[in-house]
Structures are given as C-alpha cells and as structure tokens.
Chain A
Amino acid sequence: MMRFVVRRLLELVVVFLGVTFLIYAMVFALQGDPIAALAGDRPLPDSVVRVLRARYHLDESLWQQYLRYLGGLLQGDLGTDFTGRPVSERMASRWPTTIVLALTAWLLEVLVGVSLGLWAALRHGRLADRAVLLGTIVVSSIPIFVLGATAQLYLGVRWRVFPVSGTQDGWPMGFLLPAACLAVFGLAAVSRLMRGSVIDAMSSDWVRTLRAKGLSPRRIVGVHVMRNSGIPVLTFLAVDLGYLLGGAIVVEGIFNMPGIGQLLFAAIRAHEGPTVVGVSTVLILIFLVISALVDITNSLLDPRIRRDR
C-alpha cells in the first residue's frame, strides 16, 4: 500500500516538474528578447542592457532561470502583473466565488448526470436511452460561450427566471445558471459513463445470481448495481472537480462573476502575459494534485487498482 502511495506521489512530482518546465520554456524562453521589446524603437546603450539583463537574470541559462522560477513558485510567488502587484494577491479575493461556482456545478453533475445515466441504462435500447445518448452528443457540440450567451439572454434578460449576471443575488439563484452552463459538458460525460457501467453490470453473472435469489429489481439496482457501477463514475467526478475549478474562464467571463476564471478572462483580453501564466499555472497545479489524490483514494478503496500497476 505504502509503495503505491509513494510511487503515485513521485509521479506527481515528475509531472509537476515536467508541466512547469513546459510552461516556463514555452512562455518565457520563446518570447524573443524582452529587453529589446522594452526599449522600443531606439536601441539602449550596451551598459544599460547589461544591467537590465543581470537584474532580470536574463544572462543565465534556461535551466538556471527555470530553477529560480520554480523556487519562487514553491514559495507561492506567481510573479507580478504589469502594475507590480503580485498575481497571487489578485487571486486571493477571488477564490470563494470560483469554489462555490465549481461546487454548485459539481452537485448538478452528480445529481442530474447520475440519474440520467441510470435512467437511460435501465431503459437500454428504448426511446429514453436514445434520447439521453443523443442529448449528450448535442450538448457537447455547442461551444460553451454560445450556450452561456443563449441561456443568459433567454433565461436572464427575456424571461427573468435568473439574475442576468454577477453574484449579488447570492447562492443559489446567482450561481445556478452559470453553474448549469459549466456543468453541461461534465454532465454529458457522467451520464454516458454511468449508463455504460450500469449496462455492463446488469448483464453480468452476479446480477443474474441476485435475480435467481429472488431479490427485488429495486434492491438489485439500488444496492448492488449502484455500488459497483459507482466507482468509475466517482473517479471521473472527482477528477472533474479539478477541471471545474479551472474551466470556468468562459462562464465567469460571460456571467461577469468575480472569480479566478474572470481574472484570467480579463487578463487574456488585456494581453497581460504574466497574469495569464501565473493564474493558469495555479489552476493546472490544482488539477494535478486532485488527480493524484483521486488515484490514491481509489487505491485505498479498491485493492485491484493497486495490483494493476
């Protein structure tokens, strides 16, 4: 058991180093000469360039620069934006909105996705099943900003069912519509996964045994099938929480919710490179940590996973 946990944590470290290095190399090293860009049309004197290069450690090799960046990252230093404010400071006040939004979306995925999947599976091959399958495809074919804008116009502006934007109305009314838009993709995936895994279970030998024992269909599905089919769905849901925390860029932008995603959205629009990189890095790291935790929890719950690897 310990061996698995240690191995998974080591993997996390390797992937962490790889991901941060990729980000660093792509963004900082491929951007051309920043000092020349800073100088504009008139070239700076050599002595000034030398001082500036030394101050920003540009005279070091890529590796040295990367290690310096990594050291800062480990101490919570995400760099500063163009006005000199630390990126981490700008993020701090925005976490609550993003977390509430992600959790609301996640709750919708769990409730609606699991029930839809179960419903489709129990009516396998019939109209309801086909409708759910088609629905999942249709939903994944609509770009999220089109979905968000449409929902906002009709449910918010025209019919006034939900507030149009912002978080002034508090939870749940202010969050429901954006959360639903955010949840739609994961919802489709969850119901497909649930459907597949319940169908698999229903045709298995052990369900036949339970039927032969005379258990009621309600008990077979409610207790036995749900428990067995739940594992892959739960795994997906857990990893998806990481995506939801980082995937709210478009939704928070459209619904103008003061969260991390909106910060990123605004930073991209305003071409604030350092903020974009800092925020994205944090979101990616959260995703990595959550996936590692999911794997470890899974291995605690199901010994087969430990042995597979």
Chain B
Amino acid sequence: MTVEIEPSVTPAADGSVVRRGVWRTLRRRPAFWVCLVAVALLAVVAAWPAGFGGLFGGGDPYDCDLLESAVGPGPGHPLGTDLQGCDIYTGLVYGTRTSLSIGLLTTALALGIAFLVGTTAGYRGGWADSVLARVTDIFLGFPFILGAIIILNSTGDRSVLTVSVVLAIFTWPTMARIVRTSVRQVCDAEFVAAARAMGLRSSRIVVRYVLPNALGPTLAVATITVGGVIVAESTLTFLGVGLQAPSVSWGLQLASAQAQFQEHPHMLLFPSLVLSVTVISLIALGDMLRDALDPRGR
C-alpha cells in the first residue's frame, strides 16, 4: 500500500543526483519517519485486518450484541461499542481497508487520467493542448462535493469502486495541470531534443525521458490527495450519498455516531482520531516530499 509513494523517496534504480538529494533531505527529518511508520502500519492493518481485529476479543465487525449497545470503553471493548453494539475497535480495523482503498483507488485512477491528459497536452501542444485545457476547465468548474453529490445521488449501488470512480472524476484535473506544466518544462530540454534527433518513437521519449521529470511533483500532490479523498468520502457518507450500511468504513462509523454524539461522545471520538491521524500523516508526507523536491517553498 505504501508502494504508491515509495518510488520517489527511495534512491531509485537510476540513482540520479536530484533523487538522492530528496532522499537525503527527507531521511534527516524525524517527522518524515513518524508519518511513514504511521502510514506503513495502516497499510499492514488494511492488508491483514483479521490479524488485528481480534486482539481484544471479538474480531468480527458484524458480530454485534444489541445488549451491549453504546457501551463506553472497557474490558472486551477497548474503544467501546456503537449503537448497534458493534465493537468500535474492530470496526476501525476493518474500516481501514475500505477507507484506504477508496483513497488509493481514487488517487490511482486520477493519476492515470492526469498522466494521460497532462502528457498529451504538454508534449503535443497546439490544438490538443487547447482542447484538453478546456476539458480540464470543465471538470475544475465543479466544486468537488457538489459534483460528487449530483452523480452519486443518481447512482443506486454505491460500492468502494463507484465512490472511487466518482471522486476520481473530480480530482484528476489538478494533477493533470501539474503534469502538463512539468512536461512543458522538460520538452525543450537538450536531452529530449537529443532523443528526438536519435529518431526515437514519441511514446518512448515520453515514457523514458519526459515522464520521470513530472513524477516527483505529481506524486507529492497525489499523497496529499489520498488524505483529502479519505476526508471527502466521510463527508459524502455523512450526507447519505457515500458508502452504505453493509460496508464498514470510517466514514460510516462517523456518520452514524454523529447523531448520538451528545450522549455517547466516544462513538465519534475514536474514529475521528484515527481518521485525522491518518490524513495528517498523508498530508504531512506529501508536504515534506514537495518541500524536498522544491526547496524554495520552505
């Protein structure tokens, strides 16, 4: 799961000077390690929820006991139970997979579109650039939540996949613009001209020489996006257009806890703590990555 961000932080196979510099800068910052460990831990939990869900007894997110409805933290239920008597800790563990999946899947889809559109616009230029710029504008024209509401409102079956696809529709334009700008910057570089002079095919030039330069800044933004998407999912779920009941996700836990907040604050407190720590780690990672790639901003 951390694979998403790793290529740009490890000294990759080509070991270029720039990349090694980034790794050196990041390596020295304690905050970087804290965030990385947090994200890695969540990735392990998401990959293997069964190993963590049962640590305090129970272990099945659907094994709920109505007799123990809305119990505060105590033995057997370290974080208490929700209104249906489901263990909040177990729900959080199983929800990790759902919430991280939505974050990663959305970002991966958006990255795919962004790279396709951004490189085409940046490398081809001319009319392709103008047309794609207008298309990007159209999608940027939607305020994120409103656009998602319109589509999800008319989608009957809302699974992890559908929610991710809809969120991706509204997240790709920002990244596409970054890719386009980076591609533009290297297009006139001498090594690209050299590659052209050697008669290489466009596809090869783009993949081998142009794209690696756009990778860093885009991945930094992508890391931040994963965090933003996780928050957006919970908001959409709260509004009633996100995931639905049989699924287990942090957003669903928060949405159902909100109504009971005044009497049972623990139901909202723990899920929102976990969600916030996750999102803070992701945003901070992205920020540090961006600073390391472009030291001017620090």
Whether A250 and B143, one on each chain, are in contact in the complex, defined by CB atoms closer than 8 angstroms, is: no
Asked if A149 is at the interface of the complex by the 8 Å CB criterion, the answer is: yes
A243 cross-chain contacts in B, Cβ below 8 A: 143
Whether A287 and B141, one on each chain, are in contact in the complex, defined by CB atoms closer than 8 angstroms, is: yes
Would A141 and B150 be within 8 Å (CB), given that A15-B137, A243-B143 are in contact? no
Asked if B212 is at the interface of the complex by the 8 Å CB criterion, the answer is: no
A23 cross-chain contacts in B, Cβ below 8 A: 150
- Pick from B268, B287, B296: contact of A149, CB below 8 A: B268
Complex Cα spacing A121 to B8, Å: 29
Would A277 and B283 be within 8 Å (CB), given that A143-B272, A247-B145 are in contact? no
Would A269 and B240 be within 8 Å (CB), given that A30-B154, A247-B145 are in contact? yes
Residues of chain B from 125 to 145 with CB closer than 8 A to chain A in the complex:
134-135, 137-138, 141-143, 145
Whether B134 and A18, one on each chain, are in contact in the complex, defined by CB atoms closer than 8 angstroms, is: yes
B141 cross-chain contacts in A, Cβ below 8 A: 15, 18-19, 284, 287-288, 291
Whether B235 and A250, one on each chain, are in contact in the complex, defined by CB atoms closer than 8 angstroms, is: yes
Residues of chain A from 114 to 157 with CB closer than 8 A to chain B in the complex:
137-138, 140-146, 149-150, 153, 157
How many A-B Cβ pairs are below 8 Å? 128
Residues of chain B from 143 to 185 with CB closer than 8 A to chain A in the complex:
143, 145-147, 149-151, 153-154
How many A residues are at the interface, by size bracket? 35 or more
Whether A141 and B258, one on each chain, are in contact in the complex, defined by CB atoms closer than 8 angstroms, is: no
A271 cross-chain contacts in B, Cβ below 8 A: 153
B265 cross-chain contacts in A, Cβ below 8 A: 153
Residue-wise, chain A 10-26 has the 8 Å CB interface mask toward B (1 for contact) of: 01001100110011001
Asked if A249 is at the interface of the complex by the 8 Å CB criterion, the answer is: yes
Q: How many residues of B contact A (CB 8 A)?
A: 44
Complex Cα spacing A23 to B238, Å: 22
Closest chain A residue to B258, Cβ basis = A149
Closest chain A residue to B284, Cβ basis = A137
Asked if A280 is at the interface of the complex by the 8 Å CB criterion, the answer is: yes
- Pick from B142, B231, B287: contact of A141, CB below 8 A: B231
B interface SS class: helix
Complex Cα spacing A200 to B153, Å: 44
Whether A250 and B239, one on each chain, are in contact in the complex, defined by CB atoms closer than 8 angstroms, is: yes
Would A242 and B143 be within 8 Å (CB), given that A15-B137, A153-B261 are in contact? yes
Asked if A35 is at the interface of the complex by the 8 Å CB criterion, the answer is: no
Whether A265 and B239, one on each chain, are in contact in the complex, defined by CB atoms closer than 8 angstroms, is: yes
Question: Least Cβ distance of A249 to chain B in Å?
Answer: 7
Residues of chain B from 250 to 270 with CB closer than 8 A to chain A in the complex:
251, 254-255, 258, 261-262, 265, 268
Identify the B interface with A (CB < 8 A).
Answer: 134-135, 137-138, 141-143, 145-147, 149-151, 153-154, 227-228, 231, 234-235, 238-241, 251, 254-255, 258, 261-262, 265, 268, 272, 275-280, 283-284, 287, 296-297
**Given A19-B142, A141-B276, A145-B234, 10 other A-B residues pairs in contact with their CB atoms under 8 A:** A11-B134, A137-B280, A141-B277, A141-B283, A143-B254, A149-B268, A153-B265, A249-B239, A264-B149, A284-B147
Q: List 27 A-B contacts (CB under 8 A).
A: A14-B137, A19-B141, A27-B153, A30-B154, A137-B280, A140-B227, A140-B283, A141-B231, A141-B278, A143-B272, A145-B254, A145-B255, A145-B258, A149-B258, A149-B268, A150-B268, A196-B297, A249-B149, A249-B239, A250-B239, A268-B149, A276-B153, A280-B146, A280-B149, A283-B146, A284-B143, A288-B141
